[in-house]
Structure 1
C-alpha cells in the first residue's frame, strides 16, 4: 500500500499549494514506511508531470493524459482515481475548490468518510482539523482502510524541489462518464501574486464604503508592498470586488507573512481564513472591533487618512 496525492494543475504547471500538499503526503509516507505517488490527470500535461517528478519525496508520478480529463471534471477524474484506489492507503487532495469538488465523490464511491481541511498529521490514522470557524481543533481518528483527505496547504511548509527526477508512469484514463459537460471558464488575470500563495496580503472590508474607494485606497498600498488583494465577505457581498477576493471560512484561507486588514471588523467567518498569518496589522476606526483581538499591530482611526499616509511613508 502507498500514498496517493492528486495534483491540482492547469495542464501546464502545478497550482500553488501543491508543494505544501506534498509535505503532508510525504509525512504520511514516512509514518507508514510507504512510497508517495503523485497523480497528474489532465490533457497534454507532460510538463506538469515533469515538474511533479522533481519534488522531493515523490517516488513516482502517474500521468493519466486524455481529452476527457482536460477540464478537471470531478466525474472523470474520480473514476480514473477509483481504478487504482485499492492500491493506496491514503488519497490526498488540497482543500481547494478543485479538491473539494473531487474528494467527496471518491470518498462516497469508496464508502469511506472524508476527512476535510487537515491541518496536522498525528499518525497514519489520526489528524487534526478546525471546526466552528477555527475556534475548535478536532482530533479525528479513522479506521477506514482507505483514507480520503483534503489538506489545508497553508498549515504546512512547502516541499523542496530537487534536480533528480522520479520516474513517470503512464496510467490509462477512465472513459468519459458523460455525466457532466464543460461549458466555459471565466478567469481573472492578475498582475499581482495569487491570494493563497502571497507573502503579503492587503484586504479591505465594509469600512471602505465602495468599490471605488477599495481601488483608490488599497491598490497603491498593495503595489508598494508587492501584495495580493483580498476582502471580507461583507465587501464581496457589497460588490466592491469579485468573489475570488474573499478571505474567510466560505472564501480562501491564507497564511501570509503579513496581513493588512483595512476597514474589516473581524467577524469569526473572516478570522477563520486569515488568523494564521505571521503578522496581522489592522486599521479600523472602532477600537472595540474584534479584529484587534488577533492583530499584532493596530491603528485606530480614519482609514481614509491613515492608508494614504502609510502609502506615502513606504519606499
Structure 2
C-alpha cells in the first residue's frame, strides 16, 4: 500500500506532529512517502528520510510561500492522481485540517477526523477516535480509496530510524481560483519556550492562581522544566492569559509527556484537551477537585507555596 504523509513546516524545521505520523506509517510496513510544500523547502527533505520516509516529494515554488490550504490541495490532488497513493495522512493543525478537508472534497474521498491511532486489522486499515467527550474510543474505517486521515495533536512521537529518502520534485500547477486568496498578514505569538502543541512539558494555570499576576509562578516552573505555558478557558475569558494558550474543548488539544495543572479544578471541557498527556500532575488546595480523579499524581495544597518550591528544586537539580 502506498501512503503519503503531509509534512508541515515552520521556517526551516519540520513540525514534530508530521514526523510522528510519518514514523507511525512506516511502522505499519507500508511504502511511505512524505511531501513538503512551500517556498525554499528543499533542504527539509533529508530530515524526513530519518523518520521512515522512503521518498520525499518536494513542491518548492514562490506561489506556495504563504500557508494557504487551496494551493496545497492542488499540489496534493495532482500528486495522488499521478502516483496513486491510497492513503494520505495529516497531523492536525489549522492548515492541515483545511487542506485535508479540501483534498477529500476534491478527490471525493473519505476523511476520518481526530484519530489518535491507526492499525491494520485483517489487512484493512482501522483508525481509533475518541467519542462522547473522550470517554470512550471507537474504531473507524474507510469504504473507498483514497483514504484520508487527520490525527489529533501529539498522537505519535517521532522515531528516528536513521534512513535516507529519495527526493523527487513535483510540478506546481495551480487552479485559477486557488490563487485568488492572499496572505495579508501573519503573526506568531512570542514565546521563549516551545509551542504548546509541540512541547514535551506543559505547565497550565487555572482560576486557583487567584489573579493574572500569579501566572509568573506557572511561567517560572515551565521555564525551569523547558516547557510551555497553558491556561484554562476560565482564565482566558477573564483576560488573565492569551487565548493562544487555552487548553480544552474550545482551545487546543495537547499530549505532552508531562502536564502540570496548577490551580485547575478539572472541568470536562479542560479534561478533553489534555487527558492524552503521558503523566498528569495536579496541584490544588481542594481535595475534592475533579482533576484528581484522572491525575497520575495529586498534590493537595496551596499553589502559591508549592509551585515556587517545586521550581526551586528543579533548578537545583539542573545545577547539579
TM-score by length of 2: 0.89
Do structure 1's residue 202 and structure 2's residue 194 form an aligned pair? Answer: no
- The alpha-carbon deviation at position 94 of structure 1 amounts to 0.5
- The alpha-carbon deviation at position 60 of structure 1 amounts to 0.8
Looking at structure 2, the residues matched to 233 and 161 of structure 1 have their Cα atoms a distance apart, in angstroms, of: 39
| C-alpha contact (below 8 Å) 2:110/2:146 kept by paired residues | no
Do structure 1's residue 117 and structure 2's residue 118 form an aligned pair? Answer: no
Looking at structure 2, the residues matched to 283 and 44 of structure 1 have their Cα atoms a distance apart, in angstroms, of: 45
Do structure 1's residue 171 and structure 2's residue 176 form an aligned pair? Answer: no
| C-alpha contact (below 8 Å) 2:263/2:284 kept by paired residues | yes
- The alpha-carbon deviation at position 146 of structure 1 amounts to 0.7
Looking at structure 2, the residues matched to 198 and 144 of structure 1 have their Cα atoms a distance apart, in angstroms, of: 36
Query: Equivalent residue for 1:59?
Result: 54
Do structure 1's residue 104 and structure 2's residue 101 form an aligned pair? Answer: yes
Looking at structure 1, the residues matched to 141 and 90 of structure 2 have their Cα atoms a distance apart, in angstroms, of: 18
Deviations 1:154-194 (A, max 9, x none): 222322152x4211111011226223211111112322133
Aligned length: 308
Deviations 1:122-155 (A, max 9, x none): 3243111112221121211211211110113522
Do structure 1's residue 39 and structure 2's residue 35 form an aligned pair? Answer: yes
| C-alpha contact (below 8 Å) 2:17/2:157 kept by paired residues | no
| C-alpha contact (below 8 Å) 1:125/1:143 kept by paired residues | no
Q: How big is the alpha-carbon RMSD for the aligned residues of Structure 1 and Structure 2?
A: 1.9
Which among 44, 60, 71 is matched to residue 76 of structure 1? 71
Looking at structure 1, the residues matched to 245 and 144 of structure 2 have their Cα atoms a distance apart, in angstroms, of: 36
Change (3 A) 1:126 1:231: same
Change (3 A) 1:313 1:25: closer
What SS is found at the alignment partner of 2:71? helix
What SS is found at the alignment partner of 1:125? strand
Q: Which range moves more in the overlay, 274-283 or 258-267?
A: 274-283
Query: Equivalent residue for 1:181?
Result: 182
Change (3 A) 1:180 1:167: same
What SS is found at the alignment partner of 2:197? helix
Do structure 1's residue 157 and structure 2's residue 154 form an aligned pair? Answer: no
Query: Equivalent residue for 1:212?
Result: 213
Looking at structure 1, the residues matched to 93 and 12 of structure 2 have their Cα atoms a distance apart, in angstroms, of: 18
| C-alpha contact (below 8 Å) 2:36/2:45 kept by paired residues | yes
Looking at structure 2, the residues matched to 97 and 27 of structure 1 have their Cα atoms a distance apart, in angstroms, of: 26
Looking at structure 2, the residues matched to 269 and 209 of structure 1 have their Cα atoms a distance apart, in angstroms, of: 20
Contiguous gaps of at least 5 residues in structure 2: none
